[in-house]
Amino acid sequence: MGVLVDSQKEGFGSSWGGLKSLVRRKQVDSAHSKRSGHHQLAKELTVPHLIAIGVGSTIGAGVYILVGTVAREHSGPALAISFLIAGIAAALSAFCYAELASRCPSAGSAYHYSYICVGEGVAWLIGWALILEYTIGGAAVARGISPNLALLFGGEDSLPIFLSRQYIPGLDVVVDPCAAILVFIVTGLLCVGIKESTFAQGIVTTANVCAMIFVIVAGGYLGYNTGWAGYKLPTGYFPFGVDGMLAGSATVFFAYIGFDSVASTAEEVKNPQRDLPLGIATALSICCGLYMLVSIVIVGLVPYYAMDPDTPISSAFASHGMQWAAYIITIGAVTALCSTLMGSLLPQPRILLAMARDGLLPSFFSEVNKSSQVPIKSTLATGLVAATLSFFMDVSQLAGMVSVGTLLAFTMVAISVLILRYVPPDEVPFPSSLQESIDSVTLRYSQRISGKNPETNPETSTFVDSSQPLLGNKNVAVDCLIIEKQEAQAYWTLTEQNRRKIAGWTIMLLCVGAFGLTFAASNVWIPSLIRLTCCGVGGLLLLSGLIVLTCIDQDDARHNFGHTGGFICPFVPLLPIVCILINVYLLINLGAATWARVSVWLLIGVVVYMFYGRSHSSLLDAVYVPAAHADEIYRSSGDSLA
């Protein structure tokens, strides 16, 4: 933590080569570091826009199916509690996102935060994983729209020939023209402008929310008239026990994925310190409330064991003679998929933009259109890849890969909050073009440290006669006692340097403990003795880390890190540690097949980084200086950073 890399001058660190460049960290964007030659994204978004993005990206069509599956297999009538617990778990990540988004309001989301707090290597992997998430997620969502559209028009074969799915014998694939066309439509809309596309997403999201409100109101009326049969069962409220209810929470947690799309638009928010936390919190609260109310109604209308796993909501209404409600529910599913598609395609161009600005990807992706102030080239590239995948491939088997990028991002955001609070970066990277200003400021600071002050400098003042005591005759014995006392106090006092070392190692061991505990607890095939030992060691590391971080002081530099005046995450270090533990547990339980596919993608990313990103990084020739010197260097240079 806090390693100096790629410095060019002695006194500000030594030059590091090879893999040690992975730990170089960039600066939070500030008024001093505006990028010359780069057009900034349009600042058009306010709280209502952010709520539309958050709710639209989070509430997908999965909720119309998920309630039946989870109620039948895990939660029973306690489904609403499962959604509540999952919502609380998601809120932990939302708190971490809210602080970092308001402190570091620039495009890139978790990639951007990881680059500032952790290092270039981890940031690259996070960005690379998010590219996979949004690409596969967008294609999977688009592929699911055409079947639901077909239901609206009367059945599977009711769509026009140019929209319906077709089987191509020679290629042995089922192509989906409707999915590709919808991706191109959304891509074109995103190219028009962020305000226009968000307004359209708000309209679609409103239609989806109205469909869910219909389910809640109409279902509540039916339940009131019929006596809520689903809650009058001999099995009780927890037929699968508390363990089943918690297992249901782990499953429905993925229904909350999407609010992080709000953070990706941070650079386009008018007042990010105020609006980003409000937008994230309000969107997540609305989603949690809707999920719980729909769950309460549906499990009350039909006993959990009698629910249709494929169409639970439509079947629940049909069992009470309201077959026509299926059309409203299908409209809700279609609009949910459309808003989720927009939410999937919106963040990826901004991830590509941020990575290209940092030199890790070609500059092609960093270009911003002057009129619309949107990264059009990145948006078109994203749309083209997503449309191709949705047209040719059934990506449903790859959908699990979407969760890896999100959970990795959630984990790194929580770790970044701990780093920001306890060991924030205390060096600032400068381009080597400012070497003259850096040397000048370095000389002035070195003179101050060496004692060349006005009292001793012959060029600026008169020498003091050192042969005479400043305060008359000195008591040598008293001086010795005072010095010994000060040395004893210094021995027992935790210095700032030691505090940072202890905090850095503690955060690292916390992550090791979280992995060891969750891995051992999740894999029953491990021999009992080894499993219990790993759980014990992991739990001990977590508990010890929590105690250490609670006892030592947080870094004073946190008050001035980034853009101040925004949201502050509460209950640090407890909240980020719990967040890390939950996300690592979910990551480990995604399955071996998912991790095998993701590992191939990450390995490709490592190769791309080693052969391109590492050598083209904007920090390749950076000179790292203490943050306390930064303002003076800026004033001395009189130039803005490129």
Query: In degrees, to the nearest 5, what angle opens at C-alpha 398 toward C-alphas 395 and 400?
Result: 135
Question: Is 33 buried (19+), middle (13-18) or exposed (0-12) by CB count in 10 A?
Answer: middle
Q: What is the pLDDT of residue 117?
A: 93
> For residue 392, is it within any domain?
yes
Residue 511 falls inside a structural domain: no
Whether 53 shows a pLDDT value over 70: the answer reads: yes
Question: Is the predicted pLDDT of residue 3 greater than 60, yes or no?
Answer: no
Residue 51 in any domain: the answer is yes
Q: What is the pLDDT of residues 195-250, one digit of tens each?
A: 999 999 999 999 999 999 999 999 999 999 989 989 988 888 899 999 899 999 98
Q: Average the pLDDT over 29-46 and give the result.
A: 68
| 101 confidence band (pLDDT: 50, 70, 90) | very high
pLDDT at 17: 53
- pLDDT(470) > 50: no
Q: Angle at CA 291, nearest 5°, toward 348 and 273?
A: 50
Percent of the chain with pLDDT over 90: 55
Is the pLDDT at 477 greater than 70? The verdict is no
Domain assignment present for residue 529? The answer is no
Mean pLDDT value across the chain: 85
| Average pLDDT for 306-322 | 88
Per-residue pLDDT tens for 7-35? 333 333 444 455 667 889 998 875 455 54
pLDDT digits (tens, 9 = 90+) for 183-199: 999 999 999 999 999 99
pLDDT of residue 6: 42
Average pLDDT over residues 458-485: 43
Instruction: Kindly tell me if the per-residue pLDDT of 4 is higher than 50.
Output: no
Residue partners of 597: CB distance under 8 A and separation at least 6: 398, 401
Least confident of 83-92, 329-338, 491-500, 534-543: 491-500
Containing structural domain, residue 151: 42-424
pLDDT for 626 equals 82
Condensed to tens digits (0 to 9), the pLDDT of residues 427-466 reads: 888 887 777 777 777 777 776 666 554 444 444 433 334 3
In eight-state DSSP terms, residue 258 is T
Chain segment 102-140, per-residue pLDDT in tens: 999 988 899 999 999 999 999 999 999 999 989 888 998
pLDDT at site 556: 87
* Total count of domains within the chain: 1
**DSSP three-state, residue 227:** coil
Identify the pLDDT of residue 455. Answer: 43
Predicted confidence band of residue 616 (pLDDT cuts 50, 70, 90): very high
User: How wide is the angle at C-alpha 278 spanned by C-alphas 189 and 568, nearest 5°?
Assistant: 130
Which tens digits make up the pLDDT trace of 400-415?
A: 778 899 999 999 999 9
Q: Which residues of 106-118 are buried (b: 16+ CB within 10 A; e: fewer)?
A: bbbbbbbbbbbbb
For residue 169, whether the previous peptide bond is cis, meaning omega lies within 30 degrees of 0, is no
Q: Which residues contact 367 (CB under 8 A, 6 or more apart)?
A: 375, 376, 377, 378
Q: How would you label 283-293 residue by residue, b for 16+ Cβ within 10 Å and e otherwise?
A: bbbbbbebbbb
For 564, the token pair is 């101040």
Q: Is the pLDDT of residue 482 over 80?
A: no
Residue located via tokens 């290597």: 121
Could you tell me how far CA 78 lies from the centroid of its own chain? 29
Looking at the domain assignment, is residue 413 inside a domain?
yes
Q: How many beta carbons lie within 10 A of that of residue 633, not counting itself?
A: 20
470 located within any domain? no
CB 56 within 8 A of CB 262: no
CATH number of the domain enclosing 279 = 1.20.1740.10
pLDDT band at 417; cut points 50, 70, 90: very high
What pLDDT was estimated at residue 165? 84
Percent of the chain with pLDDT over 70: 86
**Residue 543, in any domain of the structure:** no
Asked, for residue 299, whether it belongs to a domain, the answer is yes
pTM: 0.87
More confident residue, 569 or 592: 569
Looking up tokens 């202890």 gives: 502
3-state secondary structure of 427: strand
